[in-house]
Each structure stands twice: as structure tokens, then as C-alpha cells.
Amino acid sequence: MSTYGYEIVQTLIVDIEPDEHVKRAMNEINAAARLRVAANEKAEAEKILQIKRAEGEAESKYLAGLGIARQRQAIVDGLRDSVLGFSENVPGTTAKDVMDMVLVTQYFDTMKEIGAASKSSAVFIPHGPGAIRDVATQIREGLLQASAVN
């Protein structure tokens, strides 16, 4: 423009129109960066959720343990009161007699509950020094009979 008497000192470029491939590449770079940030944020959120879930579960188990401990303490207190009351009201009985009676009562209560459940699948195995040998013999005979059938 100097031939015409003009000298260009600065120029303001307002509208740049790059090639379509360049635009697409720049958009992909920006999208990848945003996806990377979003993935990091999502992973951090999942980590926080897992930590909170674990803390809640630990607190729940702690409280359940306290509840079980209190329940057992109440059972022991109740048994002690029952034994003392029974021993005082029935002359000639000892604490062992009362505890044997309580255990038998609990045994029958348990048997009643198991029998009353419609979908219970309980197996009763005899116990004692000789019973283990009997159970082992029964299992061995059952396996031998099963292999004889095959």
C-alpha cells in the first residue's frame, strides 16, 4: 500500500475462519479435556460414596454389636433372677437344678420354633463321644451304597 501512499501500522483481525479440519481437531481436543475432567469428578464422587457406605456399614455393625451385648446381658440378668427366685421358693433345689430345667425348657422352645417354621430345613445330628463315630459310619455306608447303585 506504500505505492499508493499508505502505510499499515496495525490491523485488527476480528473474524478468523480456519480450515474445517482444524476446527474439528480443536473441538475434539476441547471435548477430550472436558471428558477427562468429568471422568475424574465422577470417580471422586464414587470414591466418596463408597467411603460413606463403608462408614455407615461399620457404624451399623457397631450398633448391632452393642444391641446384642445388651440383649445377652438382659438374658443373663433374667436367668440370675429366675434362679434366685426359684431357689428361694422351692426348698431343696440348687442353682444347677434350676439351670438344667431352664436349658431343657429352652431346648423344647427351640424345637417348637423350628417345627412351626414352614420352610425350615434343619438337620439334627446326634452328639456325644460315640455319636461322631456313628455319624461317620452312616456317611461312609451312604457313600458305599450310592457308589454301588452307580
Please check whether residue 4 lies inside any domain of the structure: no
What's the pLDDT score for residue 11? 85
Q: What is the pLDDT of residue 59?
A: 96
Closest CA to 96 of 109, 82, 83: 83
Can you give the pLDDT at residue 71? 92
* The pLDDT value given to residue 81: 85
Same domain, 62 and 84: yes
For residue 26, give every residue at least 6 positions away whose Cβ sits within 8 Å of its Cβ, in sequence order, or none.
18
Same-domain pairing of 102 and 87: no
Q: What's the domain count of the chain?
A: 2
Residues 75 and 28 grouped into a single domain? yes
Q: Could you tell me if residue 54 is inside a domain?
A: yes
Look up the pTM and report it. Answer: 0.44
For the chain (length 150 residues), average pLDDT per consecutive 10?
A: 87 85 94 96 96 96 94 86 80 75 75 74 63 65 69
Q: Same domain for 59 and 80? A: yes
Residue 6 lies in a domain: no
Instruction: Tell whether 21 and 78 lie within a shared domain.
Output: yes
Question: Same domain, yes or no, for 71 and 57?
Answer: yes
Determine the structural domain holding residue 35 and report its residue range. 17-91
Which residues, in sequence order, are CB contacts of 87 under 8 Å at separation 6+?
93, 94, 95, 98
Q: Is 68 helix (H, G, I), strand (E, B) or coil?
A: helix
Q: Are 86 and 64 in a shared domain? A: yes
